[in-house]
Chain A
Amino acid sequence: MALLEITNLTQYFGGLCAVSDFNASFEGRELMALIGPNGAGKTTVFNLVSGFYQPSEGSIVFGGVNTRGMKPHEVTGLGIARTFQNIRLWHDMTVLDNIRVSQHYHLGYGVADNFFRTKRYRQREERIESTAMEVLEALDLARFASELPKNLPYGVQRRVEIARALSLRPRLLLLDEPAAGLNSADVEGLISLVRWIYDNYDIAIWMIEHQMQVVMNLCTWIKVVDFGSTIAEGTPEQIQNNPDVIKAYLGDDTI
């Protein structure tokens, strides 16, 4: 059974067709990229997969569960975590708290446990904190644990956001333009980070990215969308030489 099965996904915003007849399938551990020019509908696909929009048509089945009608936090609970194009950390909460709050789905205690600080509360909180610290240490962020994200450099904020998504213990990680706004040294770091995550976690990674350096280095399968429709898919070599892709990115060379 496929991990993620997207069939005939279509999304209209009023009269605009943002995504049309999109199909994709993840068998399990894969590193896939979704590329395309600006406004092609890439982020909309991510928003649909993470449950933020309800699709107009088509279905998204994750781990055998159809996500139609589910709230975003329920979809996240199934094992889909994501980052955002413009970093959306909680900027006035420490890095550690950012990671702790992201484990709300694994909270496992109620309001009464909280008020009376029951054994269950203490055990769960300890576990949440140790998971958070583990993730921070794994991504070499432990020294920033008590900092506020707004005071951190942009590259570190990106890593914190990835750490936050990872702490949810997802089976599918969606990265929405993780290299946007990073300098070349940070991009190198990001490539090795994503590679490291892929090697060390049992996880499928799907990324939207404009920087070909990142995509060609990491991904084994690439899908290209333009104006909401898939125009090509294949291995990095196939995509690089595909005339339709070149046309979508660079325009037609005939006059």
Chain B
Amino acid sequence: MTTTTTTPLQKFTVPVLLLAALAALCFGAQSGMMNLYVQSVIMFMGINIILSSSLNIVNGYMGEFACGHAGFMAVGAYVSSILSVWLFADDAVFGTAVLSPSLAVWLFPVVILAGGVAAAFAGLLVAVPSFKTRGDYLAIITIAANYIVKSTIENVGAIGGARGFMGMGRVTKAMDASLPLPWMMIWVFAGTVMTVWLINRFVSSTQGKGIIAICQDEIAAEIMSVNTNKMKIVAFMLSSGLAGVAGGLFAHVLGYVNPGSFTIMKSTECMVMVYLGGMGSLGGSVLSAVLFTLLLEALRPLQIIKWVVIPLMLVLLMQFRPEGIMGNRELPQLFPKLKKFYKFK
């Protein structure tokens, strides 16, 4: 209800905790308490959170079955990588840097957002067919979109084709040189917080609830004045745009991208995280992305057997808790007492 007042505690808990977490991460990375491996795991955690919560918009809230998330991630990764290398680094293909590398620190978010916008427009590739198609048929279209993106990149020689594209390492080095902070950690953190914040705002508004109505009864939604086509475009573009942001961050964390990273396997990982956390639960997506990343790392000693154990765990999860960890609910619904301490909006 709108009439409830916000106490100072509720108002400041989340920002203070987030700032503290960011400060701890920066300190840990700068002082060498966290080695590069730990840092990269934490950054992949953030990227996975963006991927799973953005896919949750379409697969969870809107109830479609989109399985080409990695394709949009690839669009974002390539567009932002090419932009950042062209602008801030000397490169064999693009020549000398267009702007001074010292500007990289400030313009990096713009570059990442540009990748996101490009990916959002790529999302139209799926959004427009979704007007008339749904369910299994739309799933096939999303797989096709994934392949279209991947194969297109593989066949463009100028950006490395199947060999991949590199040079982003020089940009991240330039950022670290101009101000000695763990910049990629900061940007991944910012991207993650922004994603969760945007999605939460979207799905808690009357506008965003339109897509939940589409999930539960599309005909009723259309008849009760929800412009379903427009809402589908918004949902798909938001979802794929945020996947593009994740892709851009992913490319810059690794310093190298190749089309092989964005296969259907990667899309499947995104879907696994959504269903693990619970469809239509933002908290679930965040939690499952964290757990999934840790699980992948914890099972690393098993090497190739890992991909036997993880799917097996999924089978068991689907058997005994098909609704996922959170199961269509958010944290305050599971623990009503938490409401006293924080408010996230």
Instruction: Indicate whether A154 reaches chain B with its CB closer than 8 angstroms.
Output: no
- Find B224's partner among A71, A125, A126, A164 (CB 8 Å cutoff): A164
Contacts of B224 in A (CB 8 A): 73, 76, 81, 101-102, 104, 164-165, 168
Distance, CA A89 to CA B223, complexed state (A) = 11
Instruction: Indicate whether A97 reaches chain B with its CB closer than 8 angstroms.
Output: yes
Q: What's the minimum C-beta distance from B241 to chain A, rounded to whole angstroms? A: 11
User: Interface code B237-248, partner A: CB below 8 Å = 1, 0 otherwise?
Assistant: 010000000000
User: Interface code A93-126, partner B: CB below 8 Å = 1, 0 otherwise?
Assistant: 1000100111111110101001101000100011
CB of A111 within 8 A of CB of B234, answer yes
Contacts of B219 in A (CB 8 A): 52, 88
Distance, CA A77 to CA B222, complexed state (A) = 11
Distance, CA A99 to CA B328, complexed state (A) = 21
Contacts of B208 in A (CB 8 A): 114
Contacts of A164 in B (CB 8 A): 224
Contacts of B220 in A (CB 8 A): 84, 88-90
Contacts of A103 in B (CB 8 A): 206, 225
- Find A107's partner among B207, B222, B328 (CB 8 Å cutoff): B207
A residues 114-142 in Cβ contact with B at 8 Å: 114-115, 117, 121, 125-126, 128-129
Instruction: Indicate whether B68 reaches chain A with its CB closer than 8 angstroms.
Output: no
- Find B210's partner among A92, A104, A109, A115 (CB 8 Å cutoff): A104
Contacts of B202 in A (CB 8 A): 111, 114-115
B residues 213-242 in Cβ contact with A at 8 Å: 213, 216-217, 219-229, 234, 238
Which bucket holds chain B's interface residue count? Answer: 20 to 34
Instruction: Indicate whether A72 reaches chain B with its CB closer than 8 angstroms.
Output: yes
Q: What's the minimum C-beta distance from A173 to chain B, rounded to whole angstroms? A: 13
CB of B210 within 8 A of CB of A50, answer no
Distance, CA A114 to CA B210, complexed state (A) = 13
For B224, the closest partner residue in chain A by CB is A102
CB of B226 within 8 A of CB of A117, answer no
For A97, the closest partner residue in chain B by CB is B209
CB of B2 within 8 A of CB of A92, answer no
Distance, CA A105 to CA B216, complexed state (A) = 19
Instruction: Indicate whether A82 reaches chain B with its CB closer than 8 angstroms.
Output: yes
Instruction: Indicate whether A91 reaches chain B with its CB closer than 8 angstroms.
Output: yes
CB of B227 within 8 A of CB of A125, answer no
Q: Which of B208, B225, B226, B238 has most chain A Cβ within 10 Å?
A: B225
Asked if A129 meets B222 with Cβ closer than 8 Å, knowing A104-B206, A114-B208, the reply is: no
Asked if A125 meets B206 with Cβ closer than 8 Å, knowing A72-B223, A88-B220, A104-B227, the reply is: yes
CB of A101 within 8 A of CB of B223, answer no
Distance, CA A128 to CA B207, complexed state (A) = 11
Which bucket holds chain A's interface residue count? Answer: 35 or more
A residues 54-87 in Cβ contact with B at 8 Å: 71-73, 76-77, 81-82, 84
Distance, CA A76 to CA B223, complexed state (A) = 7
For A51, the closest partner residue in chain B by CB is B223
User: Interface code A157-189, partner B: CB below 8 Å = 1, 0 otherwise?
Assistant: 000000011001000000000000000000000
CB of B206 within 8 A of CB of A76, answer no
Asked if A102 meets B212 with Cβ closer than 8 Å, knowing A84-B220, A115-B201, A121-B205, the reply is: no
CB of A128 within 8 A of CB of B223, answer no
Instruction: Indicate whether B198 reaches chain A with its CB closer than 8 angstroms.
Output: yes
Distance, CA A173 to CA B74, complexed state (A) = 49
Asked if A114 meets B226 with Cβ closer than 8 Å, knowing A92-B328, A101-B206, the reply is: no
Contacts of A100 in B (CB 8 A): 206, 209
CB of B216 within 8 A of CB of A129, answer no
Distance, CA A143 to CA B216, complexed state (A) = 23
Q: What's the minimum C-beta distance from B70 to chain A, rounded to whole angstroms? A: 25
- Find A73's partner among B207, B222, B234 (CB 8 Å cutoff): B222
Q: What's the minimum C-beta distance from A129 to chain B, rounded to whole angstroms? A: 6
Q: What's the minimum C-beta distance from A78 to chain B, rounded to whole angstroms? A: 10
Contacts of B206 in A (CB 8 A): 100-101, 103-104, 107, 125, 128
Q: What's the minimum C-beta distance from A121 to chain B, rounded to whole angstroms? A: 7
- Find A93's partner among B216, B223, B226 (CB 8 Å cutoff): B216
Distance, CA A168 to CA B328, complexed state (A) = 28
CB of B216 within 8 A of CB of A76, answer no
Distance, CA A129 to CA B213, complexed state (A) = 17
CB of B228 within 8 A of CB of A73, answer yes
For B229, the closest partner residue in chain A by CB is A71
CB of A105 within 8 A of CB of B234, answer no
Q: What's the minimum C-beta distance from A98 to chain B, rounded to whole angstroms? A: 8
Distance, CA A121 to CA B206, complexed state (A) = 10
CB of B223 within 8 A of CB of A77, answer no
Asked if A77 meets B225 with Cβ closer than 8 Å, knowing A100-B206, A104-B207, A114-B201, the reply is: yes
3 tightest CB-CB pairs across the interface, nearest first? A105-B225, A88-B220, A90-B216
18 other contacts beyond A100-B206, A104-B210, A104-B227, with CB at 8 A cut-off? Answer: A73-B228, A76-B224, A76-B225, A77-B225, A88-B217, A89-B217, A90-B217, A92-B328, A93-B216, A97-B209, A101-B213, A101-B224, A105-B225, A109-B207, A111-B202, A114-B201, A128-B206, A168-B225
Identify 9 residue pairs between A and B in the complex whose beta-carbon atoms are under 8 Å apart, listed by A's number.
Answer: A73-B227, A90-B217, A101-B210, A101-B212, A103-B206, A104-B224, A111-B202, A114-B208, A128-B206
Chain A residues near B (Cβ < 8 Å): 50, 52, 71-73, 76-77, 81-82, 84, 88-93, 97, 100-107, 109, 111, 114-115, 117, 121, 125-126, 128-129, 164-165, 168
